[in-house]
Structures are given as C-alpha cells and as structure tokens.
Chain A
C-alpha cells in the first residue's frame, strides 16, 4: 500500500526525446513536490503544487512542465531531453505548513 508512488522506476531514453514521469499519493495530502537528485547526490526542489496550484517554481528550464490533474497526482513532463537531465527524480507530498514530506521511490532517468 505505497503512500507515494512514481512510475516508471527506470527510464532510459535518447537525447531529444520527450518523456513523462507520473506521481500519485494516497495520503490525502494537499501539497506535492518534484525534486532532482544529481550525480553528486545533491537534492534540489524543482516544483511544488498545493491543491493543483503551482506554488514553487525554481529556476528550472522550461522544458520541464509539471501538471497536476487533481491534488493526488503531480506529473512531470520533460521535452527535448538533454544529457544533463540524467538524474533521479523524486516526488513527495505533505500536508504543507512545515509538516514532514513523504517521498516516492524515485525515477532514475538516464539519457543516452
């Protein structure tokens, strides 16, 4: 009964392709996030949505576009993939207001 689930777990694709990563949470949380963990294990927030509304949008190339069809889902679409996009992408959710975040298992994206 996974609380925050991401699909796919692994994604291997070629430069220039467009791909999506899906995230769903069954915790009833209002806020969802996307983080990028690079090869040096540095973890940085990319986006945050609260009740389907974008509230955090860090300096991320506009090739990355989050979409939240409802508050239980936050998908990440990436256009024109580049080598530097290779990373592990984590989805997370929380009730907001300083409460702890619950993370998914991550999606390991490898660009050939």
Chain B
C-alpha cells in the first residue's frame, strides 16, 4: 500500500533562514511525487512535481529513491511562504493521490 509521511505537523522559521519540509513515502512501484501548497483559506495548488525537476518560488525537491524521500527545500524563506504544504504520491499510471498529513509552515519576520 502507498503511504506518505510528513513528520512535522508545524514548522516555524525566521525570514531569510533555510527551510526544509520533510516527506517520506512507501510504495513498491514507480511513484509520481508532488508538493501542493494551500495558502490560508485558499485552494490547493500544485507547487512541484518530481519529474519536472524545476524550481518554483525558490523551492526545490529531489526524489531520493534510496531513502524514499522527497523533501522540499528553500534556501531563504519569505513571509509569503507561510502556508500548509502537502506531499502527495500518485501511481505512475493510476489516479489515486495519497497525501501526507501536511506541514504548516510559518515564516516569522
């Protein structure tokens, strides 16, 4: 069965500090991994997907198959990054998207 774990429910950093949101997964096949972001009382939006290997809003995430991780990183956090972040796993050929529990990031001034 596929499972996604985000060990930190809450994460608080100061503006300009590096931030890393952890995501670990368990899945036996070839996963598609995503990070979605939900700003206060807004819809979920796709932030990153592992196959595109791009940087969005200064965030990057690398898939580490050995450690089964897909941590989200940003070298210098901004106040506008404060939001709920969800890591998601999807079958490469299926549609079920399993989310982690979410990490509420707060960036303090």
With a CB–CB cut-off of 8 A, which chain B residues contact A33? 95, 97
Q: Contact partner of B94 among A42, A98, A102, A104, CB < 8 A? A: A98
With a CB–CB cut-off of 8 A, which chain A residues contact B97? 33, 45, 101
Give the complex CA separation of A43 and B91 in angstroms: 18
Q: Which residues of B does A touch, CB under 8 Å?
A: 32, 34, 36, 42-46, 49, 84, 86, 90-99, 101-102, 104
Contacts A/B (CB < 8 Å), 23 sampled: A33-B97, A40-B101, A41-B84, A41-B104, A43-B99, A44-B99, A50-B95, A92-B44, A97-B92, A97-B93, A97-B95, A98-B90, A98-B93, A98-B94, A98-B95, A100-B49, A101-B46, A102-B46, A103-B43, A104-B43, A105-B42, A105-B43, A106-B43
